[in-house]
Chains A and B, each alone.
Chain A
């Protein structure tokens, strides 16, 4: 069956047995493939087992932070289309769901004509992306340059790396490798932000202030509001060529390798609260190279050779 003619696959997460039956009957009439789970909190586990074009999830769950739940699912499955199902969402709630990444919000009682239209739109868009992914198998090189402010980094949590998703889609990276590469980049960017642009020193993590907050965290917050620090940029260049993924992260600081070492002698049983980012980076990629006193770092990861379809 070609990509274009594959029927939509849907995962329905709905706690209402009657509602599940009504949805099921509608999906069957349309010839759509579907699976059902009785609780939206099981979404993450279900998506780990099998991918779906669309998730339709009941988000009116008493005692559950549905927005957080949605964000957690999308963090792990960023391209997943999710239609949130709610009884009476207010305008603000609807806006929150869209901001959290929901594709659409569907109110009960269900307007199935509207649902069909959303599903067709989503599937059409996903099939187009799938065709692009397949054709990507023939692409041998790509270069992307991005510039972020410090505030961007905090708001995004991490930088977008669509190339990693595409390499995963064609089998050049497995899911585990893709997660670790994204995390390695997150570590490099965090390093550029904190030790580069914000000029924070690791030893400040050991200095506790009243209220249990360390000096590092307090200064981090303060400097993120100070344009002389927060106005500095972080540059991320992603290059994929001949099966090698190379990600370069540069900051505008002086380089953390210039930072003074901790003056206080450390007791042998002391465990520092910092210094693990490099270990996490090194474990995720084949090579980590620092330049310009640490204000540039390059991560290299060889991908599997994939035979073009």
Chain B
């Protein structure tokens, strides 16, 4: 499983195309993130519209991305969320941590 990535200007976009609740999906996120990070991108946007479910495993992977960027004064953003993923982010107050990208 690979998550597609795209670079537009200074921002790198990762499109999460499956639920984020398995080892396979977590590894796909890590791999896509590493690819963008190694290219020097420090503003990375996660598009989670393709995920209907996220669990603590997936959240851990998202937070790992957040911490790596924060350590280098970068920022992890999310496209506007919806449904269960939005509910989960709000429950865990991650919506306060990860700003929304409304550019595209």
A residues with CB within 8 A of B: 44, 65, 68, 71-72, 75-76, 154, 157, 179, 183, 186-187, 190, 205-206, 208, 211-214, 217, 271-274, 276-277, 279-280, 283
Nearest residue (CB) in A for B30 is: A212
- CB-CB under 8 A from B92, the residues of chain A are 276, 279-280
**In the assembly, what is the distance between CA of A228 and CA of B36, in Å?**
38
Given A154-B23, A283-B91, A76–B67 Cβ distance below 8 Å?
no
Q: Are B59 and A276 in contact (CB under 8 A)?
A: yes
Smallest CB gap from A187: residue in B: B56
Please name the residue on chain B nearest to A71 by beta carbon.
B18
Q: How far, in whole Å, are A274 and B88 apart by their CA atoms in the complex?
A: 15
Chain A contacts of B66 at CB under 8 A?
A: 271
CA distance A71 to B50 in the complex (A): 13
Once A157-B21, A273-B60, A276-B59 are accepted as A-B contacts, the answer to whether A75 and B53 lie under 8 Å apart by CB is yes
In the complex, the answer to whether A212 meets B55 with C-beta atoms within 8 Å is no
Can you list 15 A-B contacts (CB < 8 A)? A65-B1, A71-B18, A72-B19, A75-B19, A75-B53, A187-B55, A187-B56, A190-B55, A190-B57, A205-B64, A212-B33, A214-B64, A271-B67, A276-B60, A280-B88
Q: Is the CB of B84 within 8 A of A271?
A: no
- Give min CB distance, A180 to chain B, whole Å: 8
- Which residue from A157, A183, A212, A280 sits with its C-beta under 8 Å from B34? A212
Known: A68-B18, A212-B68. A183 touches B53 (CB 8 A): yes
A183 to B1, CA, bound (A): 22
Segment 21-60 of B: residues with Cβ below 8 Å from A: 21-23, 26, 30, 33-34, 37, 52-53, 55-57, 59-60
- For residue A205, which residues in chain B have a CB less than 8 angstroms away from its CB? 60, 64
The answer to whether residues A208 and B91 also contact, given A72-B19, A154-B23 and a CB cut-off of 8 A, is no
Q: With A208-B68, A212-B30, A214-B64 given, is the CB distance from A279 to B55 under 8 Å? A: no
Which residue of A is nearest B27, CB measured? Answer: A217
Interface of B (DSSP majority class): helix
Bound together, the chains give a CA A190 to CA B23 distance in angstroms of 11
Residues of B within 8 A of A72 (CB): 18-19, 52
Number of chain B residues close to chain A: CB under 8 A: 29
Bound CA–CA A271/B60 (angstroms): 10
* Complex partner residue of A186 from B21, B23, B63, B84, CB under 8 angstroms: B21
Contact, CB under 8 Å: A280 / B30: no
Name, among B17, B56, B59, B68, the residue most crowded by chain A CB atoms within 10 Å (CB to CB).
Answer: B56
Chain A: which residue is nearest B17 at the CB level? A68
For residue B7, CB closer than 8 A to chain A, the reply is: no
- Nearest CB in chain A to that of B25: its residue: A157
Given contacts A65-B1, A279-B91, 13 further A-B contacts (CB under 8 A): A68-B17, A75-B52, A76-B52, A76-B53, A157-B21, A183-B21, A183-B53, A186-B21, A206-B67, A212-B68, A271-B97, A274-B56, A274-B60
When distances are taken between beta carbons in the complex, the residues of chain A under 8 Å from B84 are 179
A183 touches B63 (CB 8 A): no
Task: Name B37's closest neighbour in chain A (CB-CB).
Answer: A212
Q: Looking across the interface, which residue of chain A has its beta carbon closest to that of B52?
A: A76
Give chain B residues whose Cβ lies under 8 Å from the Cβ of A186: 21, 55
A65–B21 Cα gap in the complex (Å)?
19
| Residue from B23, B60, B88 whose CB has the most chain A CB atoms within 10 Å | B60
Contact partners of B55 in chain A: CB under 8 A: 183, 186-187, 190, 277, 280
**If A75-B19, A212-B34 touch, does A273 touch B53 (CB 8 Å cutoff)?**
no
Residues of B within 8 A of A283 (CB): 91
How many angstroms between the C-alpha atoms of A71 and B37 in the bound complex? 29
Cβ-defined contact, A68 with B67, below 8 A: no
Name the B residues within 8 Å of A213 (CB-CB).
Answer: 30
Q: Closest Cβ of chain A: how far from B72's Cβ, in Å?
A: 12
